[in-house]
Each structure stands twice: as C-alpha cells, then as structure tokens.
Amino acid sequence: MADLNSINLNRLITFVAVVEAGSLTAAAERLGMAKSMVSKHMQLLEAEVGVGLLLRSTRKLSLTEAGRTFYEASRQLLQSAEQAVEQARTGRDTPQGTLRVAAPIDYGVQVVAPLLSQLRGRYPALKVELICGDDLIDLIAEGIDVTVRLGKLADSGHMAARIGKLERWLVASPAFIERHGMPADPEALQTLPFIAMSILRQSGVFTLEDKAGKLREVRMQNVVFTANTAPACRAAALAGDGVLRATVFSVQEDVAAGRLARLLPAWSLAVGDIQAVFPASPHVPQKVRVFIDALKAVGGG
C-alpha cells in the first residue's frame, strides 16, 4: 500500500484543476494562484507519486497513461471528501464550493443563469460555473455536478429529477403570416417555409393532436433555414424567415409581446420532460439539492 504521508494531498486539487482547465495558465486563474506555483506543485506531485503524470509541449498539455488513471482516482477522492464535508454540514443552510451546471443554450441563458444568480444572492459562499451547449455532455468526464436535459433521457447510471413539462408551440412572425397567410390546418402548415434545428433528428417531422384526440403527422416540405442552436432559430423566426417549432419558455415572451404568433393553437405538440441529471451518489451534495429545488420551483421557466 502506498504511503500517503509522503504525498501532499492538497496538490491533488491543483492536479485535477490543471486537467479540467486544460493548461497550467487556466488552472492558475481558476485557483487564484501564480502559474509558476501551479507548475511547481505538479513537479512535486510527480516526484511524490514517482511517475510522470503530464506531457508538456509548447502548444498543449496532455496526460500520460498513468496520469489518466491517477486523474480519475484523484477526482473521485476529492468529490468524496467534498461530499463528506457537506454531509457533516447537513442542516446548515449554507451550500459552499463551486457548482458546475450544464444546460442547453436557450434554457441555460433564459432560465438557469438568472436562477443561479439568485442562488448566489442567497448563498454568498457558493460559486457557480455554467456551461451552455446543445450537445450531450459527459457529466463524469467534464466534472459536471448537474445538467439540465430536455426531452427523453438516454439510459445511464445517473440519477434524475423531473423539473417540469417541456412544451412546444408552432410560431411565426406577423410579417411572415401577412406574406403567407395563417394556416388553417396541418396540411396547409406543412407547405410553408420552415426553420429547422440541425442537432435534432427529423426536426421537421412531428405529430399534432387536436382536442378530440385526433392525430396528424406533419412533414415540413420546405426547410429554408437551418441552425445548430435554438437562439439562432428563434432569431430567424423573428426576422420572418419561416415557421418555427419552439420550446414555450424560449418564445412565450415574444408571443405575449406580439413579436411572434402561435400557429394552429387548437392543435398541440407532444409534451416532454425537463429533467435535472446528476451523478449517482449515496449523498447528493447540498449545493446540488438547493439548485434542483430552485429549478423545480420555476418548472419549465
């Protein structure tokens, strides 16, 4: 068994920060340390462990095979230590440390970012890092505490908490409707110019249901604008470029202000779920719990 007395465990924090930040400079900024001190800690850690952990070049920094294994073990050790501390503080209303949250761009900007700022106001000892992107993120590899996912979840070993309903509307700008007319039924809808989100499979194919339960499959035949983010698609809809199938939280203010109008309001799109996903653990960190509770309070936004 390794003699832990010969290893400065505080250097593990620096090592994990270097790996996750991608460079000594970025890690130094994250930790509030001088780059020279970070470099010295890494040299001393490698000497203490007795193997090389990092491969350094003028352009990038990467891990040795031993370094990759050591990083995973170090990250788990630090998470366990943090959870142990937070568990010991159960009952104290003071989440601490850095909460790393990932979310889709539109939901992250419109719902999560303001919510995290409110939490910061309630818990000054809490720091937050929000990563917005529409690609699926690996929680463990990226060191994410909790991610928000829209729609159906893929099978995983993670835990999940339902936040609220994911509803969508069909919308278009008043100028677009003036040029093309208001569609009277799903058949008329599918011939109109359509704005598609490229990261969704078959975004132009969906099912509508009326109040009597009648289902109609719609296949939009004229995709004129494609983008890889929801905000870009919304911008195209506001500019009058086409029909958009949008999440309610992203366009409800536009509809209320008259910048966009709902199409076929008597027909509804399938409702999904908004869920918070976080790594399985016997003790969910307090900072994650308070974030999820606050998110549930706002639901779909």
> What is the Cα–Cα distance from 254 to 162, expressed in whole angstroms?
26
**Mean pLDDT across the chain:** 88
Q: Is the pLDDT of residue 88 over 70?
A: no
CB atoms within 10 A of CB 251: 22
pLDDT at position 1, please?
Answer: 47
Strand partners, 97: 126
pLDDT at position 180, please?
Answer: 96
Q: Contact, 278 vs 100, CB < 8 A?
A: no
pLDDT at position 6, please?
Answer: 66
Q: Which of 186, 172, 179 is nearest to 269 (CA)?
A: 186
Residue 3's pLDDT band, with cuts at 50, 70 and 90, is: low
> What is the Cα–Cα distance from 105 to 113, expressed in whole angstroms?
10
The pair of structure tokens assigned to 103 is 């979310």
Tens digits of residue pLDDT in 116-173: 999 999 999 899 999 998 777 788 888 899 999 987 776 567 888 999 899 999 999 9
CATH numbers and ranges of domains, the chain: 4-88 (1.10.10.10), 97-164+273-298 (3.40.190.10), 168-270 (3.40.190.290)
Q: Is the pLDDT of residue 218 over 60?
A: yes
pLDDT at position 200, please?
Answer: 80
> What is the Cα–Cα distance from 95 to 287, expressed in whole angstroms?
5
Tens digits of residue pLDDT in 59-84: 678 899 999 999 998 888 888 877 77
> What is the Cα–Cα distance from 197 to 247, expressed in whole angstroms?
12
pLDDT at position 83, please?
Answer: 73
Tens digits of residue pLDDT in 247-262: 999 999 999 999 999 9
Contacts of 98 (CB under 8 A, 6+ apart): 126, 127, 128, 129
The pair of structure tokens assigned to 275 is 């869920």
pLDDT at position 91, please?
Answer: 43
Tens digits of residue pLDDT in 28-52: 998 899 999 999 999 999 998 889 9
